[in-house]
């Protein structure tokens, strides 16, 4: 009986991943090879993905362009928002019906922990890691490790080691 339950569970996981994958492929602006979608994920037509992108639960919304580089990994329940309400020069309070869109650029080899939120206009440099539960409102530099509310850089990766792994094509 246990074997049957395990088998059915694996089939369910396989079918759900296939469903999530097709949902992303149907809407995305472009995508490289090796996309993996392991959790419920939504993208916009203004989303552009590199190679070996791994979504474990990603929601991308807004009207701005979102570019994600190669070898990207997200934790569960991540959110990227590329538009904000017009609150400053709008026709009503607290905001009006128009949106201000700002592009988001995420470099290659970036890892977002679970429940990371990235807001409009942010760039995240290659090799950066964003700690789980962080809210990214400012740019994050190359190989930086950032976290918090708002996310702040608190450490950097071992860049020599990072570059060595890149040269050897050691990607997860």
User: Which positions are catalytic?
Assistant: 85
Radius of gyration (Cα) for the chain, nearest Å?
18
Closest listed residue to residue 90, CA positions, set 82, 101, 98, 78: 98
| Bridge pairing between strands 83-85 and 99-101 | antiparallel
Question: Given the structure tokens 């995305």, which residue do they identify?
Answer: 28
The helix/strand/coil state of 75 is coil
Spatial separation of the C-alpha atoms in residues 22 and 20, rounded to whole Å: 6
* 68 membership: H or E segment, kind and range: strand 66-68
The 10 Å CB-count burial string (b at 16+, else e) for 12-42 is eeeeeeeebbeebeeebeebeeebebbbbbb
């Amino acid at each position: 009986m246990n074997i049957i339950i395990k088998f059915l569970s694996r089939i369910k996981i396989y079918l759900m991943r296939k469903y999530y994958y097709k949902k992303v492929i149907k809407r995305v602006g472009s995508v490289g090879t090796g996309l993996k979608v392991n959790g419920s994920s939504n993208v916009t037509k203004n989303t552009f993905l590199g190679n070996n992108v791994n979504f474990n639960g990603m929601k991308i919304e807004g009207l701005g362009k979102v570019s994600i580089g190669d070898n990207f990994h997200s934790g569960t329940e991540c959110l990227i928002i590329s538009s904000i309400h017009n609150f400053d020069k709008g026709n009503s309070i607290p905001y009006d019906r128009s949106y201000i869109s700002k592009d988001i650029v995420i470099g290659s080899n970036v890892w977002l922990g679970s429940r990371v939120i990235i807001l409009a206009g942010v760039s995240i440099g290659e090799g950066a890691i964003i700690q789980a539960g962080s809210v990214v409102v400012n740019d994050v530099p190359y190989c930086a490790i950032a976290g918090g509310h708002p996310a702040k850089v608190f450490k950097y990766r071992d860049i020599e080691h990072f570059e060595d792994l890149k040269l050897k094509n050691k990607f997860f």
